[in-house]
A and B are shown apart, each in its own frame.
Chain A
C-alpha cells in the first residue's frame, strides 16, 4: 500500500534530522502559500526543484505524484479566464484569470514537490518519533503509527473479500445490487476491524501496553542540521525578498 520509493535513498537531505526537516517543510510551505507575485513564486519553484534533485527523488515516481494535482490546475487554467471579470478596458479579465491560475499551479507544485523531498523521504517510524519530539500529543502519534500498520493488514483482508466476490461472479455495474453489495463489503470490513482491534488490544495489554508506544529518542542535532537550517532560512529570505521586488 504505502511504497517506500522515496525513503530508501541516500542523499544529503536524507541524512538531515527529521525534526528539522518537518519544521522547515511547514514554514517553507506557509511562505510559498502566501507568496503573491510571480517573482517570489518562480524563486520558490527553482529552489524546490533544486531540493528535489538534492534529495535524489526518483524522476518518474515524483512526476506521477504531481500528475493528479496538475490535472486540477489544467481545469483551473480553463475555468478561471472564463470567469474573471474585467475591471476596466485596458485590463483584460481572461488574461488576469490565466495569470492567477498559473500562479496557483506554481505554488501548488512547489509545495507538493518540497514536501515530497523533505518529509515523504522519512520512513514512518522516524516521522512518528520526530512528531513525538516536536511535542505532538502522544495519542495522535500512536494513532498515526497504528493506522499505517493496520491499513496494510486491512487492505489484505479487503483483497481477500474482493477475490471471494469475484469467484462468485460479482462484477461492479451501475446497479442497485452493486451498491448494496459494496455496502455490505464496507460493513464487513468494519466488523472485522472492530473484532481485530479487540484482539490487538488484548495482545498489547498482555505485553504491558500502557497507552503509549515506547519510541526510541532521536539522536541530538548535529552541525549538518544547523547548516541545513541556515540554508533554509536563506531560501525563505530569498522568496520573501523576491516578493518585494
Chain B
C-alpha cells in the first residue's frame, strides 16, 4: 500500500520535477558553463577561457556602472516601497468602507504587468505632452520640464519610481495583513497607558510588524535584483547605459554584443548576489519564527 502511494507521488511529481530540471536547473548549470567560455552565441566552436570573463568585470566600466545602479536600486527598494507601503497600510487600516475603496485603488498596480506599468510611465514622463511636464508647465515651472528618460542623470531614478509604484502596492497589502494579525488588546493597553498615536506606532505596531517587514524588504530587494522588464520597456538601460542594472547589462552583453560568455558570467554574479540575500532572508525569517514560538 505504502509502495503504491510512493509510486503515485513519484508519478505526479515526475512531470513538474522534469519541467523544473529542464527549464531551471539545466539553464542555470549551462550559464555556469558558458561563463567559462568565449561563446558568441552563434559559433559552433568556442574556447574555454577559465575565469577571464570574471576578471574582465574588474576593468569593465559598464559592469561597475551596472553594479552601482543595482545597489542604488536595492537601497531605494528597501526605503521607498517599504516606507510608502507602511504609511498607506497604517492610514487605511480599519477605517471603514471608504478605506476599502482606497485599498483597492492602491492595490491596482499589482494587477498590471511591469511592461504595462513601464509604458504608462513612459507616457507620464513624455517630454512634450506627458503628465509631469504638463503639470510643471501649468504652474509656470517650464524650465523644470525636461526629457526625463533621455537624461542620464534622471533615467534610472525615473524607472525606479515606476517600479516602486507597483512594489508599494505589494508592500501595503503585506503590511495590511500584518496589521490585522496584531492583537487589538496590545494597542488598547498602550493607549490606556497614555501612549499617543506616534508612540503606539513606534513602540507597539512596528515591532510587531517585524515578520511582515522582513517579507516586504526581502521581496523588494529580490524583485529589484531581477527587475528587467520595466527597464527594458522604458529605457533598455539607456541613454547610453546610464540606467543599466546587472540584469540589463547581462542582456545587452549577451544579445546585443553577442558576448554570451561574458553575459553568462554576469548572470552568475547576479545569481550569487540573489542567493546570499535569499539565505539571509530565510535565516531572518527563521529567527523571527523562533522568537514568536
Do chains A and B interact in one complex? no
